[in-house]
Amino acid sequence: MKKIINSPEEVVQEMLEGMAAAYPQYVRKLEGFEVMVRADAPVKGKVALVSGGGSGHEPSHAGFVGKGMLDAGVAGAVFTSPTPDQVFEAIKAVDGGAGVLLIIKNYTGDIMNFEMAGEMAEAEGIKVASVVVNDDVAVEDSLYTTGRRGIAGTVFVHKIAGAKAEAGGTLEEVKAVAEKVIANTRSMGMALTPCIVPAAGKPTFTLGEDEMEIGMGIHGEPGTKRTHIMKADELVDHLMEKIVNDLPYESGDEVAVMINGLGATPLMEQFIMNRRVSQILNEKGIKVYRTFVGEFMTSIEMAGASITLLKLDDELKELLDAQADTPAFRQL
């Protein structure tokens, strides 16, 4: 295992300390907890957004803490759900009196621990609501889920719900727009190589030199099939067929596109993928409103990528375009 770390046990703590040192204008770390909150939290009178999950998906989730997106990002151990206590402390730290929305990816541990924290907060008089993101069309159930997994499409939920909260929406309104995003978002990914969890010290799975995994999850969960290395266009055709047909997305729709690198995929390859995505959507009469290419939700150093489509209406377009300023997402 070759990693720039001091010890496997300290990677999350030291990562957050380094992030807080890099971006004090955006975030601060809660003392004693693996939680990053907005530097100006709590924002009085604003609905607060809390998201999180296992570490190893950076810049998710703390990288999206800031104006127009999240108020807190909670970091569990690598690929491990944060504890209820961590989430509870995050809720208390960012509650500005208008309520807190929990944005949860559909993993069993995340749902259980975030919901438990929400109950603890409600017992203290904090109004809490939650949504569960399940954008992955690859598999219906996996090692860690009942139903579909939540993957990179979660970032669109952060952005649009965050904009609604920043604009003064009520907790009910922010939850409703988050649910609209979830209903209209679909994703699917693939992997060329595994990743290495620091505490394990070995790859999470193995792939031959001429193999790729289609439908791979962000924790290394198995996908739909293991196959030979495909050319980029062939790969994108396969992923897009599943994504487009699932909602389905149809001629006349407007969409936002996200090409998400999983940690070790060069931008060159991500743009080659986007080239084919753009061609397919044009052929189908689906208009691309905005495109986002880069690393939004990674899997440590896994080589691979995912594609996300979000079907837009006027409300979602306005919120997608709204100002956001965070360490990993800046739209001014």
Catalytic site positions? 57, 219
* Residue bearing tokens 């992030």: 19
**Coil, helix or strand at residue 240:** helix
- DSSP annotation of 297: S
Question: Look-up: residue for tokens 């290419």?
Answer: 293
Range 225-234 burial, b when 16+ CB lie within 10 A, else e:
ebbeeeeeee
Q: Residue 191 corresponds to which tokens in the numbers above?
A: 């992997």
> Diameter of the chain by CA atoms?
56
Q: At 320, list the tokens.
A: 């997608």
DSSP state of 95: -
Name the E strands within the chain: 27-29, 35-38, 48-55, 72-78, 100-105, 128-133, 185-191, 211-214, 225-228, 254-261, 287-294, 304-311, 324-325, 330-331
Which amino acid appears at position 44 of this protein?
K
In 167-230, alpha helices (H): 171-183
Contact call for residues 211 and 230 (beta carbons, < 8 A)? no
- For the record, the structure tokens of 166 come out as 């920043």
Note whether 190 and 304 are within 8 A (CB). yes
Token pair in block for residue 69: 């997106």
d(CA 122, CA 182): 24
The helix or strand, by DSSP H or E, that contains position 88, with its residue range, turns out to be helix 84-94
Distance of CA 69 to the CA centre of its chain: 12
